[in-house]
Amino acid sequence: MIILLAILTPFLAATFIPALYKRFPSRHIGWFVMLVPLALFILLASFVPSIAGGAKYTYEFKWIDSAGINITTYLDGLSMIFGLLITGVGSLVILYSIYYLSERESLGRFYVYLLMFMGAMLGVVFSDNLMVLYVFWELTSISSFFLIAFWYHRKQSRYGAKKSLLITVSGGVAMLAGFLILHALTGSFSIREITSTIGQYTDDKLFVYAMILVLIGAFTKSAQFPFHIWLPDAMEAPTPVSAYLHSATMVKAGIYLVARCTPLFGGEALWFYLVSGVGLFTLFWGALNAVRQTDLKALLAYSTISQLGLIMSLLGIGSAALQEIGQVNTFIFTGAAFAGLFHLINHSTFKGALFMVVGIVDHELGTRDIRRLGGLIAFMPLTFTISVIGSFSMAGLPPFNGFLSKELFFESVANLIDSNVFSIGAWGTVFPVIAWVASVFTFIYCMIIVFKTFMGKPKSERIDQGAHEPPLGMHIAPLILSALVLGIFFFPNLVGSYLLKPAMASIYPMFEGVEGLVPHISVWHGFKLPLLMTIGVVVLGTVLYLTLPRWKWVFSLGPMRWNLDALYNGILMKSEKTSHLVTSKYMTGHLRDYFAYIFLFFIIVIGGGLYWIGGFPFDFSDDAPITLNEYIIVASMAIAAIFILFAKSRTTAILLNGVLGYSIAILFVVLRAPDLALTQIVVETVTTVLFLVCFYFLPDWKKETASKPTKFINALIAILVGTIVTVFALVVQGNPLFDSISVYFEDAYNLANGLNIVNTILGDFRAFDTMLEVVVLFIAGIGVFTLIKLKSGKGEKDIED
């Protein structure tokens, strides 16, 4: 119950923000908002000891129980890590935003969006039901859309928000299809139940489709190649948003999904190659593109893509442990997943600090362009120190936490060399090579952040004149994150014991409690291959950084000029042109065309469907005989309907329409249904009078001057529709599938004490529907009355006033 309240708390708090924003000065509203994630962080932290001891907490709130869709919360080691990141980093981001955002900004709107996003992320990581998880998943996309487009007056902000929404929501729809397939296989939406039974469905052909669709959702959300293109454009959001969404929360949702689904799909060769392969290529591609950026925020965007690829590849490698059960090297692969989770935490600390540093530079100097920066160390020493800690940690240098997880990463990919898992063969050598090359480029762009920004001589007069440290409050959040970077390096096994160990038990429930699942993290692990790889990264990275101007021309080569953004823009533009072309064909502005499309669709679907299934058997054996007077009434109705088409005045058409209505009433009398006849007479009388009143005040009627072919087509469509409706009615009447419900309503007197069955149905059995219909008629009546008043010239003065 507590975890459900934790999910709902940000949403509830968001409802009070507008009132607080009006009551208190805008610059103070952030302090009230910060209490929400801070309280939730303390609450979740109180569960850490019990979770570390193996406890798990579940709560179920019945929602759509008949469909198996209930709001079920599940707190275990894996969700605990993400919950702490969401609330902990969220608290620091809000603290940072208090000093970063101007009072002139719409802060009330900003914090509503931020809280909505926070609640959605908590819903994702704490939901055990796949459908509920999907609801929160898409809510993160919607709320991030609002946050990215917060400065909606900027074209690029709107573009970036739309781009992120289109890509992540499309991936979410694919993920939903995967969830539905899993439900079709297992009969459950519960992740825990599916995990316990999925083993018997792995040979089903739908299993692979479910796997791929779920991965598409994860890859789009976590910006994996080729879906990564939305993340750089999302940097148009305010820096606090980037620090929160794109370093610690939203982009980690896909990581969470892969980790949570590892017990479902891990051990499959396709899962191993897709997750580790896509992750490793994303690591390389993101690092390579980060080096070519001239905007600090864009550089961090591509570095985030790269680091997410690193984590994803480790989870993919770790999934091989589920295929290696019972063999000696099982825990070699679980070590990869351990490294992935460890780097997940480390990345949130150093990348959050770096985003805030870039925000400080932009806030104080008004630019993030590396070509205009330099020499800031003399003016902003504290900001420089935070930048060094964050950048060197991301580069994998000691004494920072990134060094430890980077070493574990090197160890994990190096283990593939001698492994033949999933018949990897020679490809086992490709993994560490790509990882090492990507790490070299990672080292280069980390050096660019530090030295191009803070060292050397200032490249702009603006730096000499206005560069200075920001208010101390803006430094508090990145300083806390920097302290965590250092603290985790010196005390890594505290994180390993209390956070990573229970999370590993969530990914590998079959190994829970087994010694060796969680390795001991050592700051010094000897001159082994991982350390030699790190030394190589530093040496080659330093050389390449110092000679960067000499080889940067490589980025102008053909392959490096390939641009997925251009492909995205081209597809979007082509889709818009095509949709405009198609729309212009059927949106003609003529009512006749719209009716024709509707009726043609009806003819094709209903008529074609009946023909396809052979549904034309008629059974008249139980029908009552048709008398002469019934033939006469129906014939008069048909004649009246035909003459309406040729009427030359509105009055004539209305009266002929009335003939139809009153003929139906007479038919009810003949069929011994006086209640229906009375109701029909009353309704027809009122309708006819209203028609006469309305048409009296409408402009003169201009007779349609359609061509003969058009009239012929109209007549053909009308005849076909009438024929299909008649045939359909006869088919239904002659082939009843269920007992008639009329028997129930015949007992209206005993059930509702009503003598008139029609009135009883309208006033008792379906009174709510009747009330709504009366409301609709009342609104329509007001509209008609208003039109009459306008036409007659009355009330014009009031309207002008």
pLDDT single digits (tens) 265-282 = 988 999 999 999 999 999
- In the chain, the percentage of residues whose pLDDT exceeds 70 is 95
**For residue 558, pLDDT beyond 80:** no
**For residue 624, pLDDT beyond 90:** no
Write down the pTM of the prediction.
Answer: 0.81
**For residue 566, pLDDT beyond 60:** yes
The predicted pLDDT at position 793 comes to 55
- The Cα–Cα gap between 57 and 76 comes to 7
The predicted pLDDT at position 560 comes to 57
> If pLDDT is split at 50, 70 and 90, which confidence band does 654 have?
confident
Q: How far apart are the first and last CA of the chain?
A: 56
**For residue 397, pLDDT beyond 80:** yes
- The Cα–Cα gap between 630 and 232 comes to 75
HSE (CB half, 13 Å, CA atoms) of 690? 15
Domain ranges of the chain: 280-556, 594-737
pLDDT single digits (tens) 38-60 = 999 999 999 999 999 989 999 99
Stretch among 246-250, 353-357, 700-704 having the lowest mean pLDDT = 700-704
- The stretch 437-454 carries a mean pLDDT of 94
Alpha helices in 101-154 (DSSP H): 107-126, 130-148
The predicted pLDDT at position 704 comes to 60
The predicted pLDDT at position 425 comes to 80
Looking at per-residue confidence, does 102 or 702 come out higher?
Answer: 102
- Contact (Cβ atoms closer than 8 angstroms) between residue 337 and residue 438: no
pLDDT single digits (tens) 109-118 = 999 999 999 9
- The Cα–Cα gap between 102 and 153 comes to 16
- The Cα–Cα gap between 593 and 111 comes to 48
- Contact (Cβ atoms closer than 8 angstroms) between residue 604 and residue 724: no
**For residue 796, pLDDT beyond 60:** no
**For residue 798, pLDDT beyond 50:** no
> If pLDDT is split at 50, 70 and 90, which confidence band does 795 have?
very low
> If pLDDT is split at 50, 70 and 90, which confidence band does 462 have?
low
Stretch among 385-394, 559-568, 696-705 having the lowest mean pLDDT = 696-705
- The stretch 573-592 carries a mean pLDDT of 86
What's 64's DSSP letter?
E
Q: How far is CA 117 from the centre of its chain?
A: 11
Q: Which long-range contacts (CB under 8 A, 24 or more apart) does 596-601 make?
A: 596/713, 596/714, 596/717, 599/717, 599/718, 599/720, 599/721, 600/717
> If pLDDT is split at 50, 70 and 90, which confidence band does 559 have?
low
Backbone angles phi, psi at 61, to 5 degrees: -115, 120
> If pLDDT is split at 50, 70 and 90, which confidence band does 789 have?
confident
> If pLDDT is split at 50, 70 and 90, which confidence band does 463 have?
low
The predicted pLDDT at position 326 comes to 43
pLDDT single digits (tens) 115-173 = 999 999 999 999 999 999 999 999 999 999 999 999 998 999 999 999 999 999 999 99
**For residue 799, pLDDT beyond 50:** no
What's 202's DSSP letter?
T
- Contact (Cβ atoms closer than 8 angstroms) between residue 404 and residue 393: no
Strand-pair partners of 72: 60
**Which region, left, alpha or beta, applies to residue 187 given φ > 0 means left and ψ of -120 to 50 means alpha?**
left
SS3 for 344-372, per residue? HHHHHHHHHHHHHHHHHHHHHHCCCEHHH
**Which range, 275-289, 406-420, 514-528, 729-743, is most confident?**
275-289
* CA torsion, ordered 488, 494, 500, 502, to nearest 10 deg: -160
**Which range, 82-96, 316-330, 363-377, 663-677, is most confident?**
82-96
pLDDT single digits (tens) 410-438 = 999 998 888 878 888 888 899 999 999 99
Return the sign of the alpha-carbon dihedral for residues 308, 452, 536, 492.
negative
Q: Which two tokens stand for residue 169?
A: 């929501």
- Contact (Cβ atoms closer than 8 angstroms) between residue 453 and residue 370: yes
- The stretch 341-356 carries a mean pLDDT of 95
Strand-pair partners of 61: 71
- Contact (Cβ atoms closer than 8 angstroms) between residue 138 and residue 75: no
Over the chain, what is the mean pLDDT? 88
Strand-pair partners of 129: 190
**For residue 292, pLDDT beyond 60:** yes
Q: Which two tokens stand for residue 354?
A: 């770096």
Stretch among 428-437, 445-454, 757-766 having the lowest mean pLDDT = 757-766
Strand-pair partners of 64: 69
**Which range, 329-333, 613-617, 760-764, 786-790, is most confident?**
760-764
The predicted pLDDT at position 791 comes to 58
The predicted pLDDT at position 336 comes to 92
**For residue 503, pLDDT beyond 90:** yes
User: Does residue 60 sit in helix, strand or coil?
Assistant: strand
Backbone angles phi, psi at 459, to 5 degrees: -105, 10
> If pLDDT is split at 50, 70 and 90, which confidence band does 348 have?
very high
User: Does residue 62 sit in helix, strand or coil?
Assistant: strand
Give the helix/strand (H/E) hosting 534.
Answer: helix 529-546
Number of H-type helices and E-type strands within the chain: 38, 2
- The stretch 90-108 carries a mean pLDDT of 89
- The Cα–Cα gap between 612 and 605 comes to 10
**For residue 582, pLDDT beyond 80:** yes
- Contact (Cβ atoms closer than 8 angstroms) between residue 191 and residue 128: yes
> If pLDDT is split at 50, 70 and 90, which confidence band does 616 have?
confident
Closest CA to 121 of 84, 149, 146, 154: 84
Alpha helices in 292-400 (DSSP H): 296-318, 330-365, 381-395
Looking at per-residue confidence, does 24 or 242 come out higher?
Answer: 242
Give the helix/strand (H/E) hosting 69.
Answer: strand 69-75
- Contact (Cβ atoms closer than 8 angstroms) between residue 537 and residue 440: yes
> If pLDDT is split at 50, 70 and 90, which confidence band does 23 have?
confident
Q: How far are the Cα atoms of 37, 84, 261, 292, 713 from residue 503, in angstroms, in the given order?
A: 22, 13, 13, 37, 68
Q: How far are the Cα atoms of 343, 344, 639, 653 from residue 405, in angstroms, in the given order?
A: 5, 9, 86, 83
The predicted pLDDT at position 730 comes to 83
pLDDT single digits (tens) 468-485 = 888 888 999 999 999 999
